[in-house]
Amino acid sequence: MSDIRTFVLLAGLTALFLVVGMALGGRDGMMLALLMAVGLNFWAYWNSDQAVLRMFNAQEIGPTQMPDYYATVQALARRGRLPMPRVYVIDDPSPNAFATGRDADHAAVAATTGILRLLTLEELAGVMAHELAHVRNQDILIGTLSATLAGAITALAQFGLFFNTGRDREEGGSGTAGLLMALLAPVAAMLIQMAVSRSREYGADALGARLCGNPLWLAAALHKLEQGSRQIPLAAAEAHPATAHLFIVNPLSAGFLAGLFSTHPPLSERIQRLRAMVP
């Protein structure tokens, strides 16, 4: 169901891109915006993992530095028949974790010191299984595709805002339709992109629960993280909110329309689904 929902949302982004492109930029403007978005996201796909790890000052560890954490990831990777990812730790009291990397052969997982202190080994296994599920499900690629389309829509909207509406006014029109399209299209694209991210979280929860062998481990972890992440927001993520979708729970402090613009589904719904997996 998660894959079907993702396909529908990506199709919706594609349709929105075509409509906005033809309305604001014409065929030439549409292709220019797409090429720009593809170029930027191609670079991000190949380089964003190291950029994100540096952004959070993540330090790579080996099997002797944090043996329980490393061994947990190693066992899960073996069970999921995945290459062993690089393992990182982030020195931050906010409890959270994420996975990155363009494919399974170049994957990395990172956990904060906060989450390592907060969770039991079983709960940590649930969290790391969720992150490895993202790797196995190719969610980094899917996120890049949605970002490419959303970025192209935003570029087209800006093109229309600065050129088309001005031309309409010169020709005696009000430019209202073009202005509304330019303002609303990026918002719509962002909402669809975030819906893609939320859909992939459900899929990673389900696969992660099967990978670790007990859905209740991940459910218990999410319950603890719901409280811990609210009490201690992740400062580096607050400074770089575009990275929020990477984390297992939203690392940002709640704000206006937080639920609508969240990259994560409600934790209560995720926990309920996990508990329903228990026979």
Q: Which amino acid is at 158?
A: Q
Which entry of 122, 131, 201, 269 is annotated as an active-site residue?
131
Residue 226 a catalytic site member: no
Query: Which parts of the chain are beta strand (E)?
Result: 59-61, 86-90, 97-100, 108-112
8 A C-beta contact, residue 70 and residue 128: no
φ and ψ at residue 60, rounded to 5 degrees = -75, 140
- Count of alpha carbons within 13 angstroms of residue 122, beta-carbon side: 7
Q: What is the greatest pairwise CA distance in the chain? A: 72
Q: CA-to-CA distance for 250 and 230, rounded, in angstroms?
A: 9
Beta bridge partners of 89: 59, 111
**What's phi and psi for 112, nearest 5 deg?**
-80, 160
Do 67 and 87 meet the contact criterion of CB atoms below 8 Å apart? no
Instruction: List the catalytic residues.
Output: 131
